[in-house]
Amino acid sequence: MTDSKFNDFVNIVKRLRKECPWDREQTNQSIRTATIEEAYEVVHAIDDNNYEELKKELGDLLLHVVFHTEIAGETAGFTVDDVIDSIREKLIRRHPHIFGTAEVKDADDVKQNWEKIKMSEGRKSVLDGLPSSLPSLLRAQRMQEKASKVGFDWSEKVDVWHKVEEEILEFREAEEHGDKAKMEEELGDLLFAITNYSRFLNIHSEDALRNSIKKFERRFRYVEEKLAEIGKTPSDSNLEEMDKFWNEIKAKE
How do residues 163-214 score in pLDDT, each as one tens digit?
999 999 999 999 999 999 999 999 999 999 999 999 999 999 999 999 999 9
Give the residue, 107 or 84, on which the prediction is more confident.
Answer: 84
pLDDT tops 90 at residue 118: no
Question: How far apart are the two ends of the chain, measured CA to CA in Å?
Answer: 42
pLDDT band with cut points at 50, 70 and 90 for residue 133: confident
- DSSP one-letter code for 235: G
Overall average pLDDT of the 56-67 stretch = 97
**Global confidence as pTM:** 0.69
Higher-pLDDT residue of 1, 29: 29
The one-letter amino acid code at 166 reads: E
- Answer positive or negative: Cα dihedral of 134, 136, 142, 148: positive
**Spatial separation of the C-alpha atoms in residues 241 and 146, rounded to whole Å:** 48
pLDDT on residue 175 = 96
CB 193 within 8 A of CB 167: yes
Q: What is the arithmetic mean of pLDDT over 215-244?
A: 95
pLDDT surpassing 80 at residue 2: no
